[in-house]
Structure 1
Amino acid sequence: MVVKLQRPILVGGLGLSFSLWILQSWHHSIVQVSEFGLFSALAVGGGLWLFRQNRPKNHLEQLDGMVVDRVTAETAIAKTEAVINQLAQETENHPALENLRSQVAQLLLELDRQEIKIGVTGGKSVGKSTLIQVLKSSCDKEILQKVSFQETAPLFREAGEKSDAATLAEVNKTDFVLFLTNGDLTDSEFQTLQQLKAVNQPTTLVFNKHDQYLADERASVLLSLKQRMSGNVVATAASPIPMKVRKHEADGAVQEWMEQPAPDIQQLTQQLSTVLAQQEKQLVWTTTMRKTLALKAEAKNWLNGIRRDRATPVIEQYQWIAAAAAFANPVPALDILATAAINAQMVMDLGNVYQQKFSWEQAQTVAGTMGSLMLKLGLVELSTKAVSTVLKSNAITFVAGGVVQGVSAAYLTRVAGLSLVEYFEQQEVAIDSGTNLNLDKLRQTLQNVFQQNQQMAFLQGFVKQSVKRLLPETQQVEVVK
């Protein structure tokens, strides 16, 4: 196998490795080199043969209950436009560009929207349609001139019907949500309310049909709802149960008839009046913010897809360089020194793809940080055992030790490469130095990537491909059946 090296840093790293090998022939033990080699072995980390394809595509950044003003929304729109411009810069005539730019223009107009959209949602038979009818007939004309009510499809329906995700997507386009329930919250209802809270969707829980409960039961349910929703609950009876009325005449005669009580929605109309009076503009800006973050996520997914296509050959290049260096170097502690240089150079090249600019010193810091994490997580030992397990059942020649080292180096380089890719995809701005890495996020990314690529079928295919790279055809037959 011939590997062409075009990076002076790589040549320097490999040359240093060779020089130290010569020095070791004069000295039986160089403790510092051994320690550095062990640490650097873990920095090899890197990349995957195939990128994970089923990652969530429309992840929304959480606002954590932030009150959104116009400046905040405008800033978010500007950042979204910057992502779209970056996509245009990195790829010509992308099919999504026209639609993305059209949506950005619409968001700017959205900031001045006058109408308030109120979404009415909940499960089946909770009284959504009836409540809307009563609100339209009961609210002040001033309120009705400002708002429009939008009923959604019922949530929590059977499989095959409109999904809850699609319904919630509709809900998130409204400015304020009335979430109806007929009793204490089910787990599904509570989880849905938490999802609305996570994307900063202003919501009021409406305890409808409360008249169907006895007084003590009604109070108990209402208290439970207020505790779970921090008090943001109103009780209504949009269509109260008809009541039997009995009238006793002076002559002793008794008359009975069914009478329909007036709807009980006073608490709700008062709250709507207060919200509209105090937060009308904020509601519009908050909705614009949610739409902006969704558009930004869409644009970033397109951009990350383009970048992943460019990152794949970079990772593949360095995994085979690492394999060759580990397989060819006769001194185990020193072949890792070569792969340390490879790993740092890969950090720089992947950083260039993702607009994360590193100096050589910063790249070394990132490589060292990843190596330290991989050591603590035990990934190097686990990967070596996994590769050895695949090779163990085959007829191994005298070069088997070098094969294990080479394949393990390539495998770890894949893991670290994909970990960097996934980490970079979450970044907003360029990293100023390797010390600014979010270690918790990077640690979790490393664990996830490693676990996803421990399947035996993947390892067997990877080992076979690696052996073909490392050994002549005559020896491949002996190593891999």
Structure 2
Amino acid sequence: MVVKLQRPILVGGLGLSFFLWMLESWHHSIVQLGEFSLLSTLAVGGGLWLLQQNRPKGSLEQLDGMLVDRSTVESAIAKAEAVINQLAQEAENHTALETLQKQIAELPLELDRQEIKLAVTGGKSVGKSALIQVLKSSSCQEIHAKVNFQETAPLFREAGDMSDAAVLAEVAKSDFVLFVTNGDLTDSEFQSLQQLKAANQPTILVFNKQDQYLVDERASILLSLKQRLQGNVVATAVSPIPIKVRKHEADGSMQEWLEQPTPDIQQLTQQLGEVLAHQGQRLVWVTTMRKARLLKAEAKSWLNETRRDRATPVIEQYQWIAAAAAFANPVPALDILATAAINAQMIMDLGNIYQQKFSLEQAQAVAGTMGSLMLKLGLVELSTKAVGTVLKSNAVTFVAGGVVQGVSAAYLTRVAGLSLIEYFQQQEVAIDSGNALNLDKLRQTLQKVFQQNQQMAFLQGFVKQGVKRLLPEAQQVEVVCAEKAVG
């Protein structure tokens, strides 16, 4: 086992462990020597100081940062319900609606739940089942009175009925988590713990089977876990290895037998009892809020999908209107502001779909803002060059001027429409934002959507659609003949 000796506290811990081991070994020889009592006192005091310096924040202190009050949870439930109600208005026969409505109706009842759902998770053969059995038989009254243990399927299996993501999704439904490991963390274990932390899932890391390590190894692993996780870590020995006992009789004979040590879970039961006694109800509120946010996200996803299905034909309609206008009256340098009237009407229609109401003046201002952003970002020039390149590769050179302008206008109108969809999808549902645009967010969205629609395969298909819409059939036949001749 590699021990990182460059860490001062680890060096001190290992040195202390060795010193205490030496004291234990020499105990019978030095018990009469009074001067060693001072060394023993210093050693114990130094050990306590090291543990104090390296001890992570207590369970209660760590949990305070992620816990909320009842009113905050009720507000989260109300926001989720607003999104679900909006989905019901816009897609009353949606397949997910009944399930969402049932789940949101159950959340207020969760607020007063007394039973704590405790998930025990971790890899295979780390002692999850044994830990639950020992905790159930412990003398801690708080655990007996409040806890419902739920063992998850093992994590980190190459093949199985449940993936790691599915196991962690089940864990997310619990109020508290015991994450069990039997050694230093693997990268997979660390990543899973980080996911639980990101989800504000209260967790204790349980270093089980510590009795299978030597004293110095045990100390180094425990310190490594605490330093790496920066959270609650406790060491246990749920199923200790039997100890061989020898008894020498007066007649010189000797008897041997195996003795089963008592499970070592005192530190864990102490922390659990403390959490349950002082934070039990608030743990339930955290879980309820997490469920409310997940419900809101799911409902928002379905709502965005429904609205996008309605918005896509609107964008396609206006992109070809813009194409026809630019093709009929081409200009040397395409200016997106020239299509402001068309884009303004599209913005109003998209705003109606996404419950973002715009007056004509506001829509024109938004169209002008988006046009300016496109010019500053260089999207107009880039799109014109890209469309021109595709047209030249398809031998449409004799009408390239008008077609380039028309297809480019359609392309930029499409980018503007898709950008607005992305932007609107990020807004809160059923909350009046005053139609004020966040220009930084809009600029980022424009760049993202433009890049997503720059793939050559998409551009080639888009240009072909534009040519079919802008050119008479006779000219399209000429284009095909020209392409064959070039080929």
Whichever residue aligns with residue 188 of structure 1, its letter is S
Whichever residue aligns with residue 214 of structure 1, its letter is L
Question: What's 1:320 paired with?
Answer: 320
- Listed one character per residue, the Cα deviations across residues 375-425 of structure 1 (whole Å, up to 9, x for unaligned) are 454333332232222211222243211111211121122122112112211
Moved more, 444-453 or 151-160: 444-453
Residue 360 (structure 2) pairs with residue 356 (structure 1): no
Inter-CA distance 260–334: structure 2 relative to 1 (3 Å threshold):
closer
Whichever residue aligns with residue 172 of structure 2, its letter is N
Relative to the length of structure 1, the TM-score reads 0.81
Inter-CA distance 220–316: structure 2 relative to 1 (3 Å threshold):
same
1:88 Cα deviation (Å)?
1.9
Question: Secondary structure of 1:113's partner?
Answer: coil
Whichever residue aligns with residue 230 of structure 1, its letter is Q
The runs of at least 4 consecutive aligned structure 1 residues that moved more than 4 Å come to none
Question: What's 1:20 paired with?
Answer: none
CA distance in 1, matches of 2:335, 2:439: 29
Inter-CA distance 288–332: structure 2 relative to 1 (3 Å threshold):
same
Moved more, 280-289 or 80-89: 80-89
Question: Secondary structure of 1:104's partner?
Answer: helix
Q: Does the CA-based 8 Å contact 1:400-1:479 persist in structure 2?
A: no
Question: What's 1:166 paired with?
Answer: 166
Residue 418 (structure 2) pairs with residue 418 (structure 1): yes
Question: What's 1:291 paired with?
Answer: 291
CA distance in 1, matches of 2:260, 2:475: 91
CA distance in 1, matches of 2:141, 2:233: 24
Q: For residues 179-194 of structure 1, what are the structure 2 equivalents within 5 Å?
A: 179-194=179-194
Residue 456 (structure 2) pairs with residue 456 (structure 1): yes
- Listed one character per residue, the Cα deviations across residues 329-352 of structure 1 (whole Å, up to 9, x for unaligned) are 243357643312322332222111
1:369 Cα deviation (Å)?
4.0
Q: Does the CA-based 8 Å contact 1:384-1:404 persist in structure 2?
A: yes
Q: For residues 105-144 of structure 1, what are the structure 2 equivalents within 5 Å?
A: 105-144=105-144
Relative to the length of structure 2, the TM-score reads 0.80
Q: Does the CA-based 8 Å contact 1:84-1:101 persist in structure 2?
A: yes
Question: What's 1:437 paired with?
Answer: 438
Q: Does the CA-based 8 Å contact 1:423-1:442 persist in structure 2?
A: yes
Question: Secondary structure of 2:183's partner?
Answer: coil
CA distance in 2, matches of 1:371, 1:337: 6
Inter-CA distance 444–330: structure 2 relative to 1 (3 Å threshold):
closer
Q: Does the CA-based 8 Å contact 1:116-1:147 persist in structure 2?
A: yes
Whichever residue aligns with residue 181 of structure 1, its letter is T
Identity of aligned residues (%): 81
- Listed one character per residue, the Cα deviations across residues 432-457 of structure 1 (whole Å, up to 9, x for unaligned) are 243x4162x43443333233322222
Q: For residues 201-350 of structure 1, what are the structure 2 equivalents within 5 Å?
A: 201-333=201-333, 336-350=336-350
1:196 Cα deviation (Å)?
1.1
Inter-CA distance 139–356: structure 2 relative to 1 (3 Å threshold):
farther
Question: What's 1:26 paired with?
Answer: none
CA distance in 1, matches of 2:479, 2:379: 24
Question: Secondary structure of 1:138's partner?
Answer: coil
Question: What's 2:427 paired with?
Answer: 427
CA distance in 2, matches of 1:137, 1:144: 8
Whichever residue aligns with residue 432 of structure 1, its letter is G
CA distance in 1, matches of 2:240, 2:231: 24
Question: What's 2:7 paired with?
Answer: none
Inter-CA distance 123–130: structure 2 relative to 1 (3 Å threshold):
same
Question: What's 2:387 paired with?
Answer: 387
Q: Does the CA-based 8 Å contact 1:357-1:431 persist in structure 2?
A: no
- Listed one character per residue, the Cα deviations across residues 184-224 of structure 1 (whole Å, up to 9, x for unaligned) are 21111111111111221111111111111211221111111
Q: For residues 82-101 of structure 1, what are the structure 2 equivalents within 5 Å?
A: 82-101=82-101
Equivalenced residue count is 417
Q: Does the CA-based 8 Å contact 2:179-2:204 persist in structure 1?
A: yes
Any unmatched runs of 5+ in structure 1?
1-63
Question: Secondary structure of 1:261's partner?
Answer: coil
CA distance in 2, matches of 1:164, 1:352: 41
Whichever residue aligns with residue 169 of structure 1, its letter is A
Any unmatched runs of 5+ in structure 2?
1-63
- Larger RCO (CA within 8 A; separation ≥ 6): 1
Greater Rg, structure 1 or structure 2?
Answer: 2
Q: Does the CA-based 8 Å contact 2:204-2:231 persist in structure 1?
A: no
Question: What's 2:24 paired with?
Answer: none
Whichever residue aligns with residue 75 of structure 1, its letter is S
CA distance in 2, matches of 1:478, 1:228: 70
Question: What's 1:45 paired with?
Answer: none
CA distance in 2, matches of 1:337, 1:72: 45
